[in-house]
Amino acid sequence: MMGDRTSERKGRSAKRRTIRDIMKTKNINGNGACQTKYIYPVTGLVKRKPIISYSEKGPYGDFGSEDKLVAYLETLDDESLRRLSYLYNAMTKRKGGWEFTDALYKDQPQTELDKYIYNLKLCRAVWNRKNVVREQLLKTMREYIETGGFSVENPMQIIDLGSGPSDYTIEAFSNFKASDNGSGLPAKAACIDIDQSALKRGEELAINAGVNENIEFKRYRIETILKEGGINDANMILAIGVICPYSDDVVMELFTRSKDALKNGGAFYTCAVRHHPLEKVLNRAGWILNPREPEYLERMMKEAGYETEIYLDAEEFFVMALGRKVL
């Protein structure tokens, strides 16, 4: 009987292990001490967004901490949240989310409550993600252009699926152009989204950045353009902020069709949201997200046939996946 109880306790204990525990491995150093090492690294591409006090009350105001602010947000009904938070309004206005991210990128909270919401891990992570994607895109562009013989006449081909305004592509192209010593930008991008307002915003940003001749904005559903073979021979495909709402079978189809559209050696770059405290609030806003932890996304990418690199954003909120098509 005692043995049965012990086994039962062990079973319950195993179930209580957090995903963070599973992600750890323990190494013994030369002194015999245990050191914890995470399997999935945090990106070093950019510095994390700092916590900023937008008011004299501190980063979380009278709430004092992120946990208490999240608990308060969960008590508010939809109407109250709309009244108190411009960010929440932007989040619910368009399910594609570009107006919400656009508001975060501007880094100018509009309401008293938003001054504190801006410091939530979710908001800082979204702000960070754009910069991480921009730097990864820049890094990959430079690697490909140096080794692939690309030129203004024979440009690298980039496809951004579910692009929204594609701020990161515009910034990457602008930064590359600023450092190319006038030799021209040997890359072209097709940014694809169903939201016409997002594409219009992207066109405005591209013109302001002086890279509009290198970026084309197309209105399509991702499913349609992939099924109809509307993209092929791409050097790099981006799917940022795209897969979170979809089930695994839809995501796997996106992964495999994207791989088919890549040239050999091409790269596919995507990300997934992890479990986090604001899930209830996001669900209320109509954002039904399917969180995926690092090892899960890695397994999906490998099953789709990619050689895969996985890392986390600076807040460990997003899982970033860079896959290579290698025959």
Q: List the pLDDT tens digit at each of the 327 positions of the chain.
A: 444 444 444 444 443 333 334 344 434 333 434 444 558 999 999 999 999 999 899 999 999 999 999 999 999 999 999 999 999 999 888 665 889 999 999 999 999 999 999 999 999 999 999 999 999 999 999 999 989 889 999 999 999 999 999 999 999 999 999 987 777 899 999 999 999 999 999 999 999 999 999 999 999 988 787 777 778 899 999 999 999 989 999 999 999 999 999 999 999 999 999 998 888 888 888 888 899 999 999 999 999 999 999 999 999 999 999 999 997
Q: Within 10 A of 288 (CB to CB), how many other CB atoms are there?
A: 12
Order of strands across the sheet that contains 318-325 = 215-219, 187-193, 156-161, 234-239, 262-273, 318-325, 306-312
Domain residue ranges in the chain = 61-122, 126-325
Task: Determine the Cα–Cα distance for residues 10 and 162; give it in Å rounded to an integer.
Answer: 45
Who's near 257: CB < 8 A, 6+ residues apart? 226, 227
Residue 38: predicted pLDDT: 59
Give the pLDDT of residue 36.
Answer: 47
pLDDT of residue 16: 36
Residue 12: predicted pLDDT: 41
DSSP sequence for 224-239: HHHHTT---SEEEEEE
Residue among 115, 123, 191, 198 at smallest CA distance from 159: 191
Q: Which CATH architecture has domain 126-325?
A: 3-Layer(aba) Sandwich (3.40)
Report the alpha-carbon distance of residue 80 to residue 62 in Å, rounded: 18
